[in-house]
Structure 1
Amino acid sequence: MGKDTSGEIANIDLDLFRRVSMVRARGDVRYYLNAVLVQPHQDGVLAVASDGHRLLVGLDRRGMCARPIIVDLSADAAKGAKQGERLSFVESTVGPTFVQAIRRRPDEIVDKRFGVRNAGDVIDGRLAKLVEGKFPNWVSIITPRKLGKASGFVVNPVYMREMMRAMQFSRFSGVEVLMTDAGANGPIFFIPARANADMELVGIVMPMLFDRSPDLPSWIGNTVAAGHEKPAKQPADQPAGEVTA
């Protein structure tokens, strides 16, 4: 984990935070979905966002998080993010409902003329609003216990993006994604749900050759959603509410 500094609540890779925040809601009455959950993890720090239909979870192994926060940060704070730039959330003097969001230069930047490291220099600083409430228990949706045996395929993301773009017609209300009995080695079918009978479209993407079977990341299995931790069990001979040294 990254080293904690005075007043710092969390720090995370800026580009990772930007990518995760792409799927957060906009103007949802469930106000916590309009923000990003940043929570501690034994392997670093997690960023989680969802609009109720999509979910993105990112793990930064170099990050640090002292306590879970649900933060609403404007999208332009991460514009033009360069590799290695980091985002720090620091306690704010404005009040408990705000944090200072500080964009810092990457650790790897070195001034070749003078040999001066610019690591941690501030690029941008602004206030970000903290959202009160409890973020949904997103772990319960994606844990291996609930999903059963994982199965899937590996595809070129460019092919996926272009295929879905081709399916974006106003007359189609949705897209079915199907696999055949051939499993990970067979074609993946994209079939738009028809709003009328004027047009039909079927797309096929072949999976990439891969040297292992796709599986869920190991860190997903040992994650607990912030705010949904199970209370510690009381010893049998200890009265409830009693604190031991």
Structure 2
Amino acid sequence: MTFIARVNPKYFAAIHQCAAKGDVRYYLNAVHIERHPSGGVLIVVTNGHFMGAMHDPDGWIDPARESVLLGSASKRLLSACTARRGADHEPPAQLWIAEKFSLVSSQVETTEEPELFGETSHLTEKTELVDGVFPSWRKVMPSKRRTQVEPFPCLNGEYLEVFNKIGVLLSGQKQFGGGGIRLEASEGKGSVVVRFNHHELVDRFLGIVMPMHADPVESLLPEWAAPKDEDQKAA
């Protein structure tokens, strides 16, 4: 057996939350793993409307490859990636990826490949590589933050809920969705950047959300909630 990539299983399961479900554009159902020029790998997933990306500094990809596009992961595989402990009572440490299968292992040491059904192997699951081209995700990266005083864009609440799940998965902290979510609008009518208010994740995770079309809202509050004149004077 020949493994072609290795990633942090928790990172993989978290970023997979951004994948499309059964989209005819099969590459949107997949997980893109590419080499990071400074070391490790980047894990990137998008459904075409929002995106999650993660730098795994300890990840690895076969030197003969620049990227790997792994097809839809099963619920069993994702569950094994996020389990607290496997059958050996140890937490999952690595997700090893081959052309026809993926292996979740508690083996921390990566100088030797794990045995397919060894003591440290939590799950060996059939997976397939996608023969296609992943979207050029860097093209949607904003270059400047918004500086003008403009209303914040309208966002799909379902995507924010997904980012909340990702924050909990990555941090193991349920309170405040993993420490809190930072949202920052880019210049003009561009995308919204999502980052986590967590010391280990703030520079490793990146989310991008495309805003929705929405009618402008002229006031900060609805009329019934606006403070009365006497309240404003007292303030």
TM-score of the two chains, using structure 2 as the length reference: 0.52
- TM-superposed CA distance for 1:101, in Å, is 0.2
With 44-53 and 78-87 compared, the bigger mean Cα shift is at 78-87
Counterpart of 1:87 in structure 2 is 95
- CA distance in structure 1 between the partners assigned to 2:98 and 2:204 by the alignment: 30
1:38, 1:56 → 2: CA distance? 12
SS at match of 2:41: strand
**Residues in 1 aligned to 2:36 and 2:49: alpha-carbon distance in whole angstroms:** 24
| Residue 132 to residue 87, structure 1, CA distance change in 2 (3 Å) | same
8 Å contact 2:31–2:70 — kept in the other structure?
yes
- Distance in 2 separating the partners of 1:125 and 1:34: 20
Between the aligned partners of 2:108 and 2:204, the Cα distance in structure 1 is 27
User: Are 2:55 and 1:55 equivalent residues in the alignment?
Assistant: no
Structure 2 distance, partners of 1:52, 1:38, is 17
Structure 1 unaligned spans of 5+: 1-5, 92-98, 109-118, 165-176, 180-207, 221-245
Structure 1 match to 2:76: 76
Residue 27 (structure 1) aligned with residue 22 (structure 2): yes
Higher strand content, 1 or 2: 1
1:13-46, Cα deviation, whole Å (9 max, x unpaired): 0010000001100011111001111111122011
Distance 1:31 1:46 in 2: 20
Would the alpha carbon gap of residues 150 and 64 (structure 1) be closer, same or farther in structure 2, given more than 3 Å must change? farther
3-state SS of 2:13 partner: helix
Q: Which residue of 2 aligns with 1:233?
A: none
Structure 1 or 2: more helix by fraction = 2
| Equivalent residue, structure 2, for 1:9 | 4
Moved over 6 A (4+): none
Amino acid at match of 2:43: A
Are the aligned partners of 1:37 and 1:69 in contact in 2 as well (CA < 8 Å)?
Answer: yes
Residues 18 and 50 in structure 2, CA contact (< 8 A), matched pair in contact too: yes
| TM superposition shift of 1:159 | 4.5
Greater gyration radius: 1
Name the residue aligned to 2:193. none
Residue identity opposite 1:81 in structure 2: A
| Deviation string, structure 1 residues 221-245 (Cα, Å, up to 9, x no partner) | xxxxxxxxxxxxxxxxxxxxxxxxx
Residue identity in the other structure for 2:61: C
Distance 1:54 1:120, change over 3 A: farther
1:69-148 map, 5 Å = 69-72=68-71, 73-79=73-79, 80-82=82-84, 85-91=93-99, 99-107=100-108, 121-142=120-141, 146-148=142-144
2:38 is the counterpart of 1:39: no
Paired with 1:77 and 1:71, the residues of 2 have a C-alpha distance of 13
Alpha carbons of structure 1 residues 120 and 59: separation in structure 2 relative to 1, 3 Å: farther
Which letter does structure 1 place at the counterpart of 2:83?
A
Report the CA distance between 1:149 and its aligned residue: 4.0
Aligned-partner residue type, residue 76 of structure 2: D
Aligned residues: 145
